[in-house]
Structure 1
Amino acid sequence: MTKPHDRLNDPAAASEAPQETPSHAERRSAGAEMARVLGTTPFHMALDSSGAGITHWKHEPLHDVVEPMTHHVIMAYNGSMQRMERRSGRSVAIGTFRPGVVIIIPEGSSSRWDIPKPVDVVQLYLPHKILERVAREADVVAPGDLLERTAHPDPITSRLLISAADVLEGNAALDALFRQQVTDLLATRLLAAHIGAPTMFQQTMGGLAPKTLLRAIERLRSDSDTDVSLSALASDAGLSRFHFCRAFKESTGLSPHAWLRQHRLEQAMNMLRDTDASVVSVAAALGYASQTAFAAAFRKLTGESPSDWRRRTR
């Protein structure tokens, strides 16, 4: 008699044996299931209070079953090209992992993976409630089923997801705002390109009313203890997160994250030019986790280190 553990490690048994789908309450979160099946810890992980998460994994070859999870998992492959196989019940998908492809595991689905070489992949863990919220805010019909994708060419989603792991700056407010925006943007992309039924978006025109824009900017300019999350900004404006982001960019030419990053840079420049505060003090005052994180963010936007910029402008 085949033991359950043996069935997981036998491709034929895994594809043919009837599987009892666990209830939602019995499923693991995506982070917990990925840690179990990959047998390692992520190279980088950033989780959001909404339940969404972005992780960067580098793991060894995989020959195992990924069990049903409480999240949709969307992956952007970032490694060298290789062939792989994915089995879901009696269905077998053979694909080629290469940069620019995405992998989608809808919540509650299960499949066996056979990947012969090491893997470098960025993953988005997306609760279905976020997909439903973004659909509601974008004035579209309720989302259908998210399609299962195996090495599916989609350079737009791939670039967005990889950027989500690359752009973190070591500043808690900026990083959280960026993750919220990119998660909503990825959810919008999934609705447009990876849902079983066509999704129709309605166009929205116009920016924020002047008083509403001023309140949003005052909130973004406030000290580090003020809530500058997308939810707080949108609620203050009386709009959904989706429409707030669109209207804010229409009014300012920048997303809320880009506006706040530019504002922090201007604050940094003023402090470096007009005071004798050390670079460490400037970094701490602006909410960066370390001088290194601040210097990297400053150099990315100006091309110079804070110390070099200070010497040149004084």
Structure 2
Amino acid sequence: MRAASETHRDREPNGHRPSADVEMARVLGTTPFHMALDASGSGIAHWKHDPLHDVVEPMAHHVIMAYNGTVQRMERRTGRSVAIGTFRRGVVIIIPEGSSSRWDIPKPVDVVQLYLPHAMLKRVADEAEIASPTDLLERTAYPDPITSRLLLSAADTLEGNGALDMLFRHQLTDLLATRLLAAHTGSPTTFQPTMGGLSPKVLLRAIERLRSDSDADVSLAALASDAGLSRFHFCRSFKESTGLSPHAWLRQHRLEQAMNMLRDTDESVVSIAAALGYSSQTAFAAAFRKMTGETPSDWRRRVR
């Protein structure tokens, strides 16, 4: 692979650029297999699209991609520079905010994309007390198994549960921003190890929030604010205290709730799914089976 040596950046204000999801829909000519966006335009999208021969115009977000399809060669032209790479699992593609390039990809593509506002990247840098520049480098089929694995996990982990999906997405976005700062800027950063967890009082308050029925209460922003910490430091301290990330803790709690209701009540599976915030019985059954190896109905028959 030959990396591009020159990057073209559009210097128009962000307000004149399309959001990443809008530009990707235009270029790819299809709808995403799955997409979850926040008000800021940040989000995660899973696309399966046909071969591509087109120019991606400057966007209002950084776009980070992890490839999940057939191994293939591709070409990316940025200004007068050409990057030729091989798409495979374990590589990433980064289109920095405001950059433009032509893509020639000869075969169908299966890719998971992160849309990241620069303000969010800078927030993570500020919270982690990083003084180095936060401009992302342009990457074309660049080997980075860690970022690739994190991003591809999003395609398998979104479960059709509003609170769980939102917490996972926010947590993953912050984690990916941390990884990008560490590996994909002009001055790679080393993060200091976590020093200590949450105080017992703050941890108890956080757990009470996670047990709430309100999606607003279990947002990462609300949890961190209530603890008097940044999102970055809250996640690290919560895991230091519990051994689990906030998302993993809430996922385990919802599984325990489901098991109690299946074992101790005669509520239907569809009613339990709705009570626990799942969008459908199918989404609940898939999440339950992923955690236990059994469907909710099979588990209920076995334990009663």
TM-score normalised to structure 1 length: 0.91
Q: 1:264 to 1:97 in 2, by over 3 A?
A: same
Question: Separation in 2 of the partners of 1:38 and 1:21?
Answer: 24
Would you say the 8 A contact 1:105–1:148 is kept in 2?
yes
One-letter code of the match for 1:129?
A
Question: Separation in 1 of the partners of 2:215 and 2:182?
Answer: 36
Q: 1:261 to 1:93 in 2, by over 3 A?
A: same
Q: 1:225 to 1:242 in 2, by over 3 A?
A: closer
The structure that has the greater radius of gyration is: 1
Tell me the matched-pair count: 297
One-letter code of the match for 1:224?
S
Percent of pairs identical after alignment? 82
> Deviation at 1:118?
1.2
3-state SS of the aligned residue for 1:54? strand
Please point out which of 37, 42, 46 is paired with 1:56.
46
Would you say the 8 A contact 1:79–1:119 is kept in 2?
yes
Verify: 1:139 aligned to 2:129, yes or no: yes
Q: After superposition, what is the alpha-carbon deviation per residue over 1:93-123, rounded to whole angstroms, capped at 9, x for unaligned? A: 1111111111000000111111111111111
> Deviation at 1:142?
4.4
Verify: 1:203 aligned to 2:196, yes or no: no
Match of 2:64 in 1: 74
Structure 2: gaps spanning 5 or more residues = 1-7
Match of 1:15 in 2: none
> Deviation at 1:297?
0.8
Q: How does 1:182-221 map to 2 (within 5 A)?
A: 182-221=172-211
Alpha-carbon RMSD across the aligned residues, in angstroms, is 1.5
Q: 1:19 to 1:228 in 2, by over 3 A?
A: closer
Match of 2:231 in 1: 241
> Deviation at 1:217?
0.5
Question: Separation in 1 of the partners of 2:241 and 2:144?
Answer: 30
> Deviation at 1:204?
3.0
Verify: 1:32 aligned to 2:6, yes or no: no
3-state SS of the aligned residue for 2:44? strand
3-state SS of the aligned residue for 1:152? strand
Verify: 1:84 aligned to 2:74, yes or no: yes
Question: Separation in 2 of the partners of 1:303 and 1:47?
Answer: 30
Please point out which of 225, 228, 253 is paired with 2:243.
253
Q: How does 1:105-116 map to 2 (within 5 A)?
A: 105-116=95-106
> Deviation at 1:50?
3.8
Match of 2:4 in 1: none
> Deviation at 1:43?
1.2
> Deviation at 1:138?
1.3
Please point out which of 276, 282, 286 is paired with 1:286.
276
Q: After superposition, what is the alpha-carbon deviation per residue over 1:242-262, rounded to whole angstroms, capped at 9, x for unaligned? A: 110111111111110011111
> Deviation at 1:22?
3.4
Q: Which moved more, 1:36-45 or 1:175-184?
A: 36-45
Q: After superposition, what is the alpha-carbon deviation per residue over 1:162-216, rounded to whole angstroms, capped at 9, x for unaligned? A: 1012111111000000000111111011000000113242333111000100000
Match of 1:171 in 2: 161
TM-score normalised to structure 2 length: 0.94
> Deviation at 1:311?
1.2
Q: 1:141 to 1:46 in 2, by over 3 A?
A: same
3-state SS of the aligned residue for 1:280? helix
> Deviation at 1:48?
1.9
